[in-house]
Amino acid sequence: MKHIGTQNIETSRLLLRQFKINDVDDMLKNWVQDEEVTRFLTWQPHENKATTINILNEWIHQYAKLDYYNWAIVLKDCQEVIGNIAVVSHNEKAQLAQIGYCLSRKYWHQGIMTEALNKVIDFLFDQVQYECIQSHHNIQNPHSGAVMKKCGMKYEGTLRHSDWDNQGVYDACYYSILRSDK
């Protein structure tokens, strides 16, 4: 493993970069207060700007750690932050990273998260040298699984009553991709 921290990643439409404190207004406008976006997440919609500022300060502080990976998803054409994608947990011994993501509802079904996830997978394999990337979703959120499949992740199975989100305890569909699969 060669941890290098959250580095800028570019695609044709996106810049993935570290969050900045001045991203607060875009976050509030685009996803952190939207109950539909947070429906399948583990945190409640933010009630106020102070909550978002506190989260941003925590994230920004974490960037000092070289094994911390959390990107703002920025549309290049307007420089607007529309979501985030992050390594939400990792296992050094297994050389495994688990990815989580969320995106402004306005940009759903446009291939944006697929574009971001593909590049993050490439970065984590090529630069950091993870051997396995995993993700999972609530069985009631098949669109998230579709993103994973489009990125070459293989369905591993469904674990019943194995995780929780704002909908409660749920059956989780697991996906993974190995570096050797690329």
Q: What is the pLDDT of residues 1-49, one digit of tens each?
A: 999 999 999 999 999 999 999 999 999 999 999 999 999 999 999 999 9
Q: Which residue, chain included where needed, has tokens 């989580």?
A: 100
How confident is the model over 41-68, as a mean pLDDT?
A: 97
Give the confidence band of 182 by pLDDT, cuts at 50, 70, 90.
confident
Q: State pTM to two decimals.
A: 0.96
Q: Which residues is 164 bridged to in the sheet?
A: 169
Percent of the chain past pLDDT 90, that is, above it, reads 99
Give the confidence band of 143 by pLDDT, cuts at 50, 70, 90.
very high
Taken in order of first residue, the domains within the chain and their CATH numbers are 9-181 (3.40.630.30)
